[in-house]
Structure 1
Amino acid sequence: MIRLDNRHPIPEALRGGVIALGNFDGFHQGHQAVVGEAIQWARAEGRPAIVATFDPHPMRLFQPATEPFRLTTLDQRQELFGQAGADAMLVLHFDKAMAAMSASEWVEKELAGHLGAAGVVTGEDFTFGRGRGGNPQVLREIGARFGLSGRTVGPVSDAEGIISSSRIRAALKAGDCQAAAHLLTRPFAIRGVVQHGDKLGRAIGFPTANIDLGPYLRPRYGIYAVTGRLPDGRVVPGAANLGVRPHFDPPKELLEPHFLDFSGDLYGLEIEVAFHHFLRPEAKFDSLEALTAQIALDCEKARKVLAEVA
């Protein structure tokens, strides 16, 4: 799976492709439908299938003070797009220059000129260009002048309504891992490098792999049943604290998974922690002994929950 950058030339072999265009953060069922249409179209015409995603998210430029909200990193999206069958991921670096481009300039310079695209697939509500002046109809009208065709894919719905990143974020903020997994078609997962911590978990018999939350959306603070995907491909069960650790001072926001029946050094390695079930909210305990006893109960409950979903 090749990663392309809109600031650099596109390899000749990837010009003339079909582009799935959107943010695709989370790559939920609706996103999968758009990308699937682009891949099917590309395969039917013997063209490369490219998924274009914005980074940073346009909201970061227009509302820089917005709290973290990402559901996936670029690396995660690249893997997901590759698993779906795309040939390449194109990173569109959204900056002031791109935001200032009119819809017509955007089609001519980015899609037709830089990519030499033959087709573009978007969702029905996709907008682009200065002041959101472009939409799928505008894209088709302008694109026709450059031999560029456009298709749209309607929203995907379930019994609760249209599937969207907003619904997934709301579910995670409520601690509803199962609802988020349904919409995503997989558990929500945070990926990061294991950091050295204060070793308190190790001191009480429950060592943790501390991970900074970075740009990710903050799910509901609390204790979760999780699985961890290690660099060697192993998937191990665990219980994780996500939050500010109210028992300890000073508070520090972290994701701290403790992996059951695991021993080894993960410091400096990148792991991915998938959220399966919310067990309880964070709490402050009267003593370290009480905290240790509760962690043991959390681990046992996590073991049972994960055995049921395996």
Structure 2
Amino acid sequence: MELIRGLHNLRDKHRGCVATIGNFDGVHLGHQKVLDQVKEQAQLHNLPSVVIIFEPQPREFFAGNDAPPRLTRFDEKVRLLEKQGVDRVLCLTFNSRLRAMSAQAFVDELLLNGLKVKHFVVGDDFRFGCDRSGDYTMLEAAGHAHGFSVEHTHTFEIEDQRVSSTRIRESLMRGDFELSERLLGRPYTVTGRVVHGQKLGRQLGVPTANVRMHRFRCPLQGVYTVLARVQGRDYPAICNVGMRPTVNGRLPVLEAHLFDIDQQLYGQLMQVRFLHFLRPEKRFDGLDALKTQINFDLDLAREWFALQAGAKPISGSEQI
């Protein structure tokens, strides 16, 4: 799969395609049905399939920290789109220039001159251009005038409700990981490189593998039992996601303590699959109180894993 960053990087070889556009946050089962439509049409037209996404996502541009947390980091989203068999991903920087682009300029610069789209798959409620002035009817008219076709996306429902990123986000916040897995078509995971931290966990006798979240705001916050996959192997673990208020943390961090492992993990790619919510993140009156709570959390986590061992398998995260 080819990742193209920005309109300015489009070349002659990129012109002529079947495309769709959206946030594709989570690349859930609803998204996958849309991608199936795109790939089917791409095969019929004998053209490459293209997914157009934004970075940052439009709501993040407008709302900043008040925007909903993402399900997937940018690199995870790209990796998931690649697994779906997409030929190309075009990532547009959502900035003041793009926000001010008129609907007609969107059609001219992106669909016609940029990609020479032959077939476009979008929702019938899709809006585009400055002040969301463009709509499906305008796209159909442009298609008739310039020789491309437009197709509705198909709504995909589970339990009589539309599968959406919002619904998955809400299920994660409730700790309903079974529902989120059904909606995503896979377990919910967060993946990142293990980095050096403050070494505070080691001082407390509970060393952690840390993943910085950078600009990514995870929809989860608190302490969880998880499976941490490193170098192709799953380790039962306990994980905290949040700001670490007891030690005045300023940036969100994922910290995982892996059971039954004694090796350095710095620089390794770690995938964390969330299994069970233990408690919310909170501030403690000093490190002694924090250590007491951590030991209590560890006991709860080990007890949970022991109960699950006789109930059902919990392995099976996607390979990283």
Instruction: Calculate the TM-score normalised by the size of structure 1.
Output: 0.89
1:255 corresponding residue in structure 2: 254
2:301 matched to 1:298?
A: yes
**1:147 to 1:250, Cα distance in 2 relative to 1, 3 A:** same
Please tell me whether the aligned partners of residues 34 and 153 of structure 2 are also in contact (alpha carbons under 8 angstroms): yes
Name the % identity.
34
**Contiguous gaps of at least 5 residues in structure 2:** 316-320
Larger CA deviation: 110-119 vs 275-284: 275-284
Note the aligned Cα RMSD (angstroms): 2.4
1:266 corresponding residue in structure 2: 265
Larger CA deviation: 186-195 vs 70-79: 186-195
2:318 corresponding residue in structure 1: none
Aligned-pair CA distance for 1:302: 3.8
Aligned-pair CA distance for 1:289: 4.5
Structure-to-structure mapping, 1:201-212, within 5 angstroms: 201-212=201-212
Q: Distance in 1 between matches of 2:272 and 2:128?
A: 34
In the alignment of these two chains, the number of paired residues is 308
Q: Distance in 2 between matches of 1:264 and 1:7?
A: 44
Q: Distance in 1 between matches of 2:236 and 2:165?
A: 27
2:156 corresponding residue in structure 1: 156
Larger CA deviation: 12-21 vs 190-199: 190-199
Please tell me whether the aligned partners of residues 190 and 216 of structure 1 are also in contact (alpha carbons under 8 angstroms): no
**1:39 to 1:293, Cα distance in 2 relative to 1, 3 A:** same
2:94 matched to 1:97?
A: no
Please tell me whether the aligned partners of residues 22 and 53 of structure 1 are also in contact (alpha carbons under 8 angstroms): yes
Please tell me whether the aligned partners of residues 71 and 219 of structure 2 are also in contact (alpha carbons under 8 angstroms): no
Secondary structure of 2:240's aligned partner: strand
**1:259 to 1:131, Cα distance in 2 relative to 1, 3 A:** same
Larger CA deviation: 191-200 vs 280-289: 280-289
Secondary structure of 2:212's aligned partner: coil
**1:201 to 1:217, Cα distance in 2 relative to 1, 3 A:** same
Give the partner amino acid of 2:219.
P
- Name which of 302, 309, 314 aligns with 1:309: 314
1:249-283: CA deviations, max 9, x gaps?
A: 43564211112222322223442322222233346
Secondary structure of 2:272's aligned partner: strand
1:113 corresponding residue in structure 2: 113
Please tell me whether the aligned partners of residues 69 and 216 of structure 1 are also in contact (alpha carbons under 8 angstroms): yes
Please tell me whether the aligned partners of residues 177 and 278 of structure 1 are also in contact (alpha carbons under 8 angstroms): no
Structure-to-structure mapping, 1:154-233, within 5 angstroms: 154-159=154-159, 161-230=161-230, 232-233=231-232
Aligned-pair CA distance for 1:220: 4.3
1:17 corresponding residue in structure 2: 17
Q: Distance in 1 between matches of 2:8 and 2:290?
A: 57
Aligned-pair CA distance for 1:160: 5.0
Structure-to-structure mapping, 1:129-148, within 5 angstroms: 129-148=129-148
Larger CA deviation: 183-192 vs 109-118: 183-192
Please tell me whether the aligned partners of residues 60 and 67 of structure 2 are also in contact (alpha carbons under 8 angstroms): no
Please tell me whether the aligned partners of residues 19 and 50 of structure 1 are also in contact (alpha carbons under 8 angstroms): yes
Aligned-pair CA distance for 1:286: 4.4
2:242 matched to 1:243?
A: yes
Q: Distance in 2 between matches of 1:169 and 1:62?
A: 20
Please tell me whether the aligned partners of residues 189 and 272 of structure 2 are also in contact (alpha carbons under 8 angstroms): yes
**1:296 to 1:78, Cα distance in 2 relative to 1, 3 A:** same
**1:7 to 1:229, Cα distance in 2 relative to 1, 3 A:** farther
2:77 matched to 1:77?
A: yes
Q: Distance in 1 between matches of 2:217 and 2:195?
A: 19
